[in-house]
Structure 1
Amino acid sequence: MNKAENVEPVNRIARRPASSAMEDPSETLDVLEILSRQRWLIIFLCLCGLTAGIAYALYAPVWYETNATVLINQKSAGLGGDSTGQSIVDEDILANHIELIQSRMIVGEALEQNSLVSLPSIVEQLDETKPQFDAVDYVIEQLSIVKGGEGSAKTARSLSVTFTHTEPDDAQIILTAVMKRYEQFIIAQVEQLMGRANEMVNEAKQEVESELLAAEQEHLQSRQNAPLFFQGEGSSNVYQERYRRLQEELLDIDIQESTVRTRLTRVEDTLKEMDDSGDAFDHLDKLALIDSESLERLGVFAGLQSNAADTAEFKAAMPAKMEEARTQITHLLQLNSEKQRLSSVFGPAHPKVQELESEITLVKQFLQDNQDLTSPTSAFGESALTPEGLLKAYVGFLQHDLAALAERRKELTFLASDAETKAKDLIEYELTDMILQKKIARQEALFDGIVQQLRELDTASGLSGYLYEFLEVPRMGVKSWPKLPLCALGGLMLGLFGGLFVAVANDVRDGRFRSSAELDEAIGLLSLGRVGKLNSVKQGVTGLIATELSPDAEAFRLGRTVLLPDIRSGKIRTIGFTSPMQGDGKSTVASNFAVSFSQIGLRVLLIDADLRRPSAHRFFSVGREEGLCDILNDRTPFADAIKETRADNVWVIPAGSSSSTPAELLQSSKFDEILRMASTQFDLVLVDLPPVLAVSDPVVVMPRLDSGILVVRVANVRRDEVINTIRRIESAGGQFAGCMLNAFGAGKKFDGGGGYHGYYKSDYTRPTNAGSKPARSGSLNGFSAAPAEAPVNGKAH
């Protein structure tokens, strides 16, 4: 039965499409794994680098260096109050000195003054092909200047000058000449500069001294013209105090004037109301509008009029009741005055105020009842005092008060203006005096600074703008390069970095798989098992490991377990075994699977369809004659080509005689007929096919089989080879049930340290009786399988 006759395609083993896995492989660089795989390459390159570094240190030209150290400190002008006259040198100043030391002017003059331009050790370092590169350029190139010291003196304002040369004595001579010329230049410049500075300081002293005398004279004249009330620093401004008091009095005038105007307005309104009523006694209560002070003045006014009426003629003319009425009116006025006073003190609701109110009501009632007897007109004539007359007199008082307040305001305003002007003049003088004092203080400080600088400047003893001291003078040069430890370390590091780079590049270029997970992700096939060793084909049927009790034999049992449900259900009757390239072990795997399936009672037929390099007959120790090629050429019947093997339930159809057209034979319909007959007579048919990338035979056969198993030896095959294998088979219409991994020769991630091996080290494989030895399983027709020996190293098919 071929694949075309299957009612249902084999899809029980679910996997993601290989195309998607191949189009987007997830690759990660494991640095530790790369180092482990490429360790020998890295070690080799490290040793090469170390050797090169040592060789360089032994045979390279020797260079010597000499050093000089200069401490630089700047001389200050003393104007900042610094008693030492010294300050820290700025970074820019140090940079200027560095530029000066290694300038062509200093170096060139140093070489010329000491006749060092033609020194042999310098001449031999010059390149004749570069005439522009002379001795001065060479010395400048070998000069190295560093700021600061070492350790805790790192921030010191010093310069460390280093000169490197091939001759130790000449190195000392050259650096000494350069430093001496530098010192001469500094001294010459400083003497010129400080001489001119001395003249300028003396001129400045005379100018500042004259300005100080002028400022003191100006201050003296100003104090002579000082105002009378200025007593010097800390004195008060009397005009300012007077101005403040006058302003307070003007404020009181404003308040009084406002109060009087308000009273005047109220009284005038009351008089207008009284004109509308003719009853004088009805308006006695209006007298409450008069304030206490004005009541006293009105009382005096009323007393004067009362004294004018107290004559003999008036007394003779007036009856006794008129005298009583006058007394009552006077009493009424007193009551109103007292009521107003008490109301202002205690309020209108006070009992005394209420009592006065009642008394005033009674007096007014009495006067109303005796109106004809107490008429003021009848008693006093036209000069009689009435409420209206009193209020009009009160209006006169208020108007007089307003006029007096206006006169006082005018007087106070004039006095305040005069006080303000004098206060401002005094303040201005105080400020002028303070400015003059500060001017004198500045001139004194400047004069003192110049005098201090004159004391520090001493041209006779060698003035200097910078204090420099040679902390270290040039000595005979010491060897500086090459240094064996440093060169060895540099060569080792160069070899290490080169080894790492080459290792990573080599590992990235290497297309082989690095782990089982990477293989599964790349191809998308189910893993049927993993074997670590496959015995040589020379051992024949006794070398098949499927009958053993070992982790590698268990791998075939795992694959058998995965495929068995589809085989028993009839979905899979024919399985093809192939690989990407030759030597992957696909023939050995197919033979071991045949034995493994036969162990569970299945009748298994192994067809050797690898007509170019057949090997199935050697695994099962049968003859090669009368095989598949003979059946396809109609030289041998199908039944005669089937050969029984020493393994129970396993039969083999060998490749038969050789053919020059194997692909055409396998593509014929005769091969389909062979598959049909084999599927009818046997439970399972296994077909050993050539490598996919080597020949086209598997592409022809795989679409006619129910399924296939891809054998991958990860130690040899590359990623692209496996991917191309799967693509070729799937594009032709074939399909794989899974992948069998041959891990022989691969890395640790493919070894058998875990998985099945863990169980085979446990009690599962130990004999029941402690004294008995473990028996080998899977006897082949009454004889024990030979122990597994050498793995296939390129000879398996």
Structure 2
Amino acid sequence: ILYGGFNQTWLANCLRRRWLMATLLGLLVGAGAAALLLFVFPNMSNVTSYLQVKSTEENFIIDEPRQRPSPVEIERQAMNHLALLKSPMVLEAALSDQTIAGLDAVRNQGNEALLWLTNDLKVSYPGDGEILEVRYEGKEDPVQMEKVIDAVVNAYRDQVLFKERLQATATHEDLKVVLDAKEKELEEKLASLKSRLELLGMSREEIEIPTLQSEIRMLESQIAEAQKQLLDVEIMMQLAYGHSRAPSVLEGMVAAAMEKDPTMAMYKQQEFQLKQMYQQRASQTRNKQDAQLKRLEAQIQQTQMESEQYRVAAEKEIRDQIRKMPDDTLRAAHTEYVIRKAAAQASLKEYEEKLQVAKDKLQSLGVEDPEVEMLRQDIENQTEIANSLAQRVAAWQVLQQTRDRQMQANQTGMDKVTVIQRAKSLANVNTIERYSIAGVGGVAAMGLTCYAIALMEFRRRRLNSPTDIDEGLGVRVLGVLPSATLKSLAGNSLVATQVAESIDNVRATLMHDSTSAPRQVVMVTSSASQEGATVAASSLALSLARAGRRTLLVDADLRSPSLHRLFGVPVEDGFCEVLRSEIDLADAIRPTNNEGLYLLTAGVCSHDAIYALATDQPQAIFEKLRDQFDFVVIDAPPVLGISDTLSLGQYVDGAILTVLRDHSEIRRVHKAIEQLRNMGIRLIGSVVNGVPLKADRRVVRLHQVAARPMPQLPPKTDA
């Protein structure tokens, strides 16, 4: 009980004693904590935009069937889109718009707007499909954030997709140049054929060897087909090479590499820490010219400059490495190019050898010059190739016109990336979570406050119940008394009745013990003031008097007497005057209104009376009292603090220690017990005051009967 830990029993009793303080302070702290959490966790808005990203783009320039991209290539394209959407190139382009830069959501970020978007903008593929989600969650105005998200999406389309379209346009221009060259070459060959026919003076209808001519035409057709395959292979190789070096692909790889660069991460972390230190210092001082602020600002600028220099150098080095490293897609295209070109060249060589044999045979029969026939066949082949190129150029023009019309109509069905939902906001998405956090935090703060108050109360270790005295300190509990004051004991109240019933148990124990050991002079004391010693002493004396014992009640609390007020007698001519030998003992003892009960008041206290207690003078006084009374009950002052009680204890047969529930400190009670025992004063037991008792119904009924006026008999009349 003296050194035990803080447990549930102590917690309940401490809170019972300090319930008002714990409740009010807990509510105050809990409300403050809830308000603080509501401030720390503001209302959040959710702004989302969705884009559809196609894994392949329709191409009308080359009418070869395209294979479906491999999963690795699809994942690579997806990572490129994710990196490019959050790349500084796209975000800076979005923030450069004056309308966006003037929004409060952007202006509040100051110079950290780019870092803010980089950290808070979330880009992902939900479900690993072709739908790209651009999401922002924050406390900024959702309407303004809709404009910011739309600006980022538009900047991505303008900065990345537009460049890819420009590359495709460049390919179209290259095809037009090839078509013009073929048409010019075809015109030259037609002119050469016309001049050769005029020189030979013959026409095509004059050749009469249909078998050889049919074979030659078939071979020439096969040669033309092989040449067409060679041309298609060359064109596909050029397109594959151009796609592998597209700016969007290169920038995506560079951005992805920079995101994983540990040095850039170190610079960002260093800059973030310096800014945190700057904000902390700025909140501590209002002097904008503070030396530490200036130094932190210079360090932030130096870190930003070094980070920018490193980023430029690292991006240049990464671009050089990417240009030098082998491209898997380009390598596969080159392998296919080599195989198809070798096969086409072998077929072309075989057809040319067969054609030469057929021409030699036809010439030996005396027909027209094979060169003329070959020139005609070449013209047909070139015409077919020119027609194919013209169709592709026309298809591109149709595609471009379709895109132009869709752009005018605000449609983007032909683009690789299509906006299927512009930015839409959902305000106050965290209302339930916010109030839940505030509620839980407030309840936790209130609980911690109550716990802290209980812990502070526990440090004093006040008395919780009679068990703490009986089992904790090993002192027998003679009885328990309800809360009572001297004023409540003066009248015929229910409290006085309860006290009388409870003190009768103490009197019975005392009278029983007196048969085996002398208990004639009993001192009632306490460890500290205001613990009910006077109530217990006066009640015990009254109980002994009611039991027919001649009892003297002595007010030995010389410094702070109170029994004279309880019995309504003057304080003068009491125990102090007897100690000073100013009056005789018999003159100081006064009878009371209760039969068998006498009172010795404290008298007027002085230093002489206090000093007399330490002499042998009280011994003679108490010997006389033993001869005159059956019991002498002494109302003594507290044990701790003054020596009066220890001096009186040398002349008594035993002491009763009174304690007050929820007031007496167990350590002080233990100290008082030890002092009494060290002085050789026998401790009879203890009386616990302030214990709530439910009055027995028999006691209540008896009190009601006693309070009722007695019926009066009618007066007798003479007959």
* TM-score (ref. length: structure 1): 0.50
Q: Who is 1:739 aligned against?
A: 686
Q: Who is 1:176 aligned against?
A: 150
User: C-alpha distance in 1, partners of 2:496/2:14?
Assistant: 37
Change (3 A) 1:615 1:66: same
Report deviation, 1:589: 1.1
Judge conservation of contact 1:704–1:734 (CA < 8 Å) in 2: no
For residue 478 of structure 2, the aligned residue among 528, 547, 563 is 528
Report deviation, 1:137: 2.4
User: C-alpha distance in 1, partners of 2:436/2:120?
Assistant: 24
Q: Who is 2:624 aligned against?
A: 677
How do 1:360-375 and structure 2 match up within 5 A? none
How do 1:387-536 and structure 2 match up within 5 A? 472-475=421-424, 477=425, 479-480=427-428, 490-510=437-457, 511=460, 512-536=462-486
How do 1:270-309 and structure 2 match up within 5 A? none
User: C-alpha distance in 2, partners of 1:72/1:573?
Assistant: 105
How do 1:77-92 and structure 2 match up within 5 A? none
How do 1:298-697 and structure 2 match up within 5 A? 472-475=421-424, 477=425, 479-480=427-428, 490-510=437-457, 511=460, 512-537=462-487, 540=490, 542=491, 548=497, 550=498, 552-697=499-644
For residue 204 of structure 1, the aligned residue among 316, 329, 335 is 335
Amino acid across the alignment from 1:67 = T
Amino acid across the alignment from 1:204 = T
Judge conservation of contact 1:546–1:554 (CA < 8 Å) in 2: no
Cα deviation code 1:680-722 (max 9, x no counterpart): 3322221111123343322332344222122222233333333
For residue 705 of structure 2, the aligned residue among 748, 752, 774 is 774
Report deviation, 1:616: 1.9
Report deviation, 1:197: 6.5
Judge conservation of contact 1:60–1:482 (CA < 8 Å) in 2: no
Report deviation, 1:610: 0.5
How do 1:67-82 and structure 2 match up within 5 A? 67-69=48-50
User: C-alpha distance in 1, partners of 2:447/2:144?
Assistant: 44
Q: Who is 2:243 aligned against?
A: 192
Judge conservation of contact 2:564–2:601 (CA < 8 Å) in 1: yes
Secondary structure of 2:686's aligned partner:
strand
Note the residue ranges of structure 1 that are not aligned, 5 or more in a row: 1-20, 76-82, 128-132, 213-458, 744-749, 783-797
Cα deviation code 1:306-344 (max 9, x no counterpart): xxxxxxxxxxxxxxxxxxxxxxxxxxxxxxxxxxxxxxx
Q: Who is 2:196 aligned against?
A: none
Change (3 A) 1:526 1:137: same
Judge conservation of contact 2:579–2:609 (CA < 8 Å) in 1: no
Q: Who is 2:118 aligned against?
A: 140
Q: Who is 2:296 aligned against?
A: none
User: C-alpha distance in 2, partners of 1:51/1:501?
Assistant: 13
Amino acid across the alignment from 1:495 = G
Report deviation, 1:655: 0.8
Q: Does residue 108 of the first structure (1) align with residue 55 of the second (2)? A: no
Amino acid across the alignment from 1:536 = L
For residue 136 of structure 2, the aligned residue among 127, 140, 162 is 162
Report deviation, 1:60: 11
Amino acid across the alignment from 1:473 = R
Amino acid across the alignment from 2:91 = V
Cα deviation code 1:639-674 (max 9, x no counterpart): 222222222222221112222355323222111222
Judge conservation of contact 1:612–1:662 (CA < 8 Å) in 2: no
For residue 102 of structure 2, the aligned residue among 113, 116, 119 is 119
Secondary structure of 2:605's aligned partner:
coil
Change (3 A) 1:514 1:498: farther
User: C-alpha distance in 1, partners of 2:516/2:486?
Assistant: 34
Report deviation, 1:611: 0.6
How do 1:49-68 and structure 2 match up within 5 A? 49-50=30-31, 65-68=46-49
How do 1:211-222 and structure 2 match up within 5 A? none
Amino acid across the alignment from 1:474 = A
Secondary structure of 1:740's aligned partner:
strand
Structure of greater Rg: 1
For residue 672 of structure 2, the aligned residue among 725, 742, 749 is 725
Amino acid across the alignment from 1:751 = P
User: C-alpha distance in 1, partners of 2:455/2:444?
Assistant: 16
Cα deviation code 1:178-198 (max 9, x no counterpart): 233445677568983498766
Change (3 A) 1:538 1:175: closer
Secondary structure of 2:611's aligned partner:
helix
Amino acid across the alignment from 2:48 = N
Report deviation, 1:527: 1.7
CA RMSD of aligned residues (A): 4.9
Amino acid across the alignment from 2:104 = S
Judge conservation of contact 1:528–1:740 (CA < 8 Å) in 2: yes
Report deviation, 1:173: 2.0
Secondary structure of 2:706's aligned partner:
coil
Cα deviation code 1:103-161 (max 9, x no counterpart): 5443223323x34674252564146xxxxx43312433553567758xxx9x9986451
Change (3 A) 1:181 1:469: same
Judge conservation of contact 1:163–1:171 (CA < 8 Å) in 2: no
Judge conservation of contact 2:577–2:583 (CA < 8 Å) in 1: yes
Amino acid across the alignment from 1:125 = N
Report deviation, 1:634: 0.9
Amino acid across the alignment from 2:243 = Q
Report deviation, 1:620: 3.0
Change (3 A) 1:507 1:53: closer
Report deviation, 1:679: 2.3
User: C-alpha distance in 2, partners of 1:471/1:70?
Assistant: 5
Secondary structure of 2:606's aligned partner:
coil
Note the residue ranges of structure 2 that are not aligned, 5 or more in a row: 57-66, 165-239, 247-326, 344-395, 404-414, 711-719
Secondary structure of 1:613's aligned partner:
coil
Cα deviation code 1:20-50 (max 9, x no counterpart): x53x346423455566555543355436654
Report deviation, 1:581: 2.7
Q: Does residue 46 of the first structure (1) align with residue 31 of the second (2)? A: no
Change (3 A) 1:727 1:481: farther
User: C-alpha distance in 2, partners of 1:106/1:531?
Assistant: 84
User: C-alpha distance in 2, partners of 1:738/1:93?
Assistant: 91
User: C-alpha distance in 2, partners of 1:34/1:99?
Assistant: 61
Report deviation, 1:593: 0.6
Amino acid across the alignment from 2:692 = D
Change (3 A) 1:144 1:567: farther
Q: Who is 1:268 aligned against?
A: none
Judge conservation of contact 1:175–1:474 (CA < 8 Å) in 2: yes
Amino acid across the alignment from 2:423 = P
User: C-alpha distance in 1, partners of 2:72/2:14?
Assistant: 57
Cα deviation code 1:568-608 (max 9, x no counterpart): 23432222112233222211110001111222222222111
Q: Who is 2:653 aligned against?
A: 706
Judge conservation of contact 2:469–2:477 (CA < 8 Å) in 1: no
Judge conservation of contact 1:577–1:710 (CA < 8 Å) in 2: yes
Report deviation, 1:764: 7.6
Report deviation, 1:775: 3.5
User: C-alpha distance in 2, partners of 1:560/1:488?
Assistant: 62
Report deviation, 1:554: 2.6
Q: Who is 1:28 aligned against?
A: 7
Cα deviation code 1:366-422 (max 9, x no counterpart): xxxxxxxxxxxxxxxxxxxxxxxxxxxxxxxxxxxxxxxxxxxxxxxxxxxxxxxxx
Change (3 A) 1:172 1:655: same
Cα deviation code 1:754-791 (max 9, x no counterpart): xxx4xx13x68657xxxx963379x9xx9xxxxxxxxx
Change (3 A) 1:198 1:690: closer
Amino acid across the alignment from 1:109 = A
Change (3 A) 1:123 1:207: closer
Cα deviation code 1:622-652 (max 9, x no counterpart): 4433211111111122222222222222222
User: C-alpha distance in 2, partners of 1:89/1:583?
Assistant: 89
